[in-house]
Structure 1
Amino acid sequence: MELRQLEYFVTVAETGNFTRTAEQLHVAQPGVSAQIRRLERELGQELLDRSGRVVRVTEVGMAVLPYARAALAAVDGVRLAVDELAGLVRGHVSIGMVTSHNVDLPGLLARFHEAHPAVEVTLAEANTDQLVEDLRAGSLDTAIISVGGGIPAGLAIQVVDDQPIVAAVSHDHELAVHQVISIDTLRGRLMISMPRGTGLRARLEEACATAGFTPRIAFEASSPEFLAQLAARGLGVAILPRAFVEARSEHLRPVTIGRPSIRGRLVFAWRADGPPSPAGRALVRHARQLLGDASSRGR
């Protein structure tokens, strides 16, 4: 019994036609017929009923069919295992990241390199919108992105950080006397924000849209540190993560935004159906375990 005989039999059972089977498998039609006849002689039973215009599977053939499919699937599994290993030996991974994040990416990559020293790594920096697009297109295996409460369509994520987004102002700013403000308090005020396409900007625009207005952006920059410096000079209200602002309490005051509150999540993301490369899939497994362990230690 040969694998090609099982493959021919399964394909004829699915197509109901020897000619279509030959075309699908790119072999000569007489060869298909001859190999299935040889299989039937070996088993001592007919597997196919050829009496009609459409070839039908006999009762014996129906009993054999699931085992034939299982045998072919097992062979595919063997090939996949070899391909996965070969892919890791000569593999390549592409990782995207937002400009500002608190993931120990060098540490994660060092651990991954230790396990898979031959895999090449490419890093790319962009805003969240671009990274999401690249993940969906398959040009990136994984990425660190900033998202809101939902998950971008077509992606799977592991949350790395989830914290409130606040209004950051200088100590002599008129809003500095408040503990909490509503989003409507920011209507018409000069604001300092990350550019469009970033997670922070998207969260701000979503909250403002809910309140019925468009934020008045006076300054924008891709560096949170630069935004903080502008706000500390009294040039407007910067929209930044609370922990980032609290770490700069000498120059900035964080004011909680309520009704609605704004939260930002930093996540490790990959395509929901898995990265396209074996090395990429290995990186996802590695990162999920490492980030999960870090999250457990943080609780």
Structure 2
Amino acid sequence: MELRQLEYFVAVAEERNFTRAAEKVHVAQPGVSAQIRRLERELGEQLLDRSGRSVRLTEAGAAVLPYARAALAAVEGARLAVDELTGLLRGHVAVGTVTSHSVDLPGLLAEFHDAHPAVEITLTEATSDELLEGLRTGRLDAAIVSVGATTPAGVELEVITDQPIVAAVSPDHELAVHSAISLDTLRGRALISLPRGTGLRTRIDEACAAAGFTPHIAFEASDPEVLAQLAERGLGAAILPGAFAEARSDRLRSVRIDRPTLRGRLAFAWRADGPSGPAGRALVERARTALAAGASATSAPDRAAG
């Protein structure tokens, strides 16, 4: 019997799904399935019922689960005891990020790796909604996300930037003569936006819903630069972070959206009760210190859009 077999078994029991369990332990699904089958052969009993839509524990599996958890906890305790004695931090941290921003995340992760070379780091790129869900469920230890004025449930934030959301249009667009417009002015107009699930898209969708209309999204793209290029060619008004649009003032006109004013925040986020392991907690502490000092931000215009 191997510890990894127990680890995979516990992961499947908790996730009730082989695919999610494989993602949790960072192993290909066939490898998880194979190790659990070996564990079942060694114990002489089927531990998991695979016949339904979700995986369930058999009676034998339910009996084994607390012992498997205890064994894993004992091994982790032994490792922590040695690490405390030697001052070594080990383990795994899972970090997420939106597609486009101005934070020097590679530099931050490199500094953390230099300080804690025994810690394995994985990086996931996704939308803000997906990243926030990953934090709440514990699949991620920390993430860079785009959020609105209120802090999402279940997480804590270190705000990196807070800026207006604007409508960016070509110089010959009919809205280009305005410095500011009401949100209702966008009703029925062709808009260019990031996909659903991104922080910026959520802001505009929620604001329009509150105003009683559904925005007409003519074009979607996951890269803010593509949105800017589409707007430059007169295909609509691109919904963009203010600083990003202003940096392209030679080819775009930024029009503030007032009544209500829309703002977006780029933030470093972690689960409200903190990451579960010491490595995750160390990463959050290091990132908060660096961000507070401005060490991880570049001088480039902010691209917080995901």
Structure 2 length normalisation: TM-score? 0.68
Instruction: Give the superposed CA RMSD.
Output: 2.3
Answer yes or no: is 1:170 the counterpart of 2:170.
yes
Query: For residue 119 of structure 2, what is the amino acid of its counterpart?
Result: V
SS of match in other structure, 2:293: helix
CA–CA separation in structure 2 for the residues paired with 1:105 and 1:246:
23
Which runs of no fewer than 5 residues in structure 2 stay unpaired?
A: 1-76, 299-306
CA distance in 1, matches of 2:88, 2:127: 29
SS in structure 2 at match of 1:89: coil
Superposition map of 1:107-122 within 5 A: 107-122=107-122
SS of equivalent to 1:191: strand
Q: In the alignment, which residue of structure 1 is the partner of 2:206?
A: 206
Q: What aligned pairs does 1:1-299 form with structure 2 within 5 A after superposition?
A: 82=81, 85=84, 89-294=89-294
* Aligned positions, number: 221
From the superposition, tell whether residues 90 and 81 of structure 1 become closer, same or farther in structure 2 (CA, over 3 Å).
Answer: closer
Distance 2:89 2:271 in 1: 22
For the residues of structure 2 that align with 1:276 and 1:84, how far apart are their CA atoms?
Answer: 17
What code does the residue aligned with 1:269 have? Answer: A
Contact 2:95–2:142 (CA under 8 A) maintained in structure 1 = yes
The answer (yes or no) to whether the contact 1:88–1:278 under 8 Å persists in 2 is no
Contact 2:103-2:297 at 8 Å conserved across structures: no
Q: CA deviation at 1:210?
A: 2.1
Partner of 1:40: none
Q: CA deviation at 1:84?
A: 6.6
**For 1:87 and 1:142, how far apart are their aligned partners in 2?**
23
Amino acid at match of 2:170: S
Identity %, equivalent residues:
67
Deviations 1:239-265 (A, max 9, x none): 000110111111111001000010000
Contact 2:291 2:297 in 1 (8 A): no
Residues 140/233 of structure 1: CA separation in 2 closer, same or farther (3 Å cut): same
Cα distance in structure 1, aligned partners of 2:226 and 2:150: 28
Matches of 1:89 and 1:244, distance apart in 2: 39
Structure number, greater radius of gyration? 1
Does the Cα contact within 8 Å between 2:104 and 2:297 map onto a contact in 1?
no
In terms of fraction of residues, the more helix-rich structure is 1
Q: 1:173 to 1:146 in 2, by over 3 A?
A: same
Give the TM-score normalised by the residue count of structure 1: 0.70
- Tell whether the 8 Å contact from 1:191 to 1:219 is kept in structure 2 after alignment: yes
Cα 1:88–1:240 change in 2 (3 A) is farther
Relative distance call for 1:96 and 1:246 in structure 2 (3 A) is: same
CA–CA separation in structure 1 for the residues paired with 2:278 and 2:208:
42
Kept after mapping to 2: 8 A contact 1:191/1:236: yes
Which structure 1 segments of 5+ residues have no match? 1-77
Q: Deviations over 1:66-115 (max 9, x none)?
A: xxxxxxxxxxxx98973774896331111000011111101211221221
Moved over 2 A (4+): 78-90, 295-298
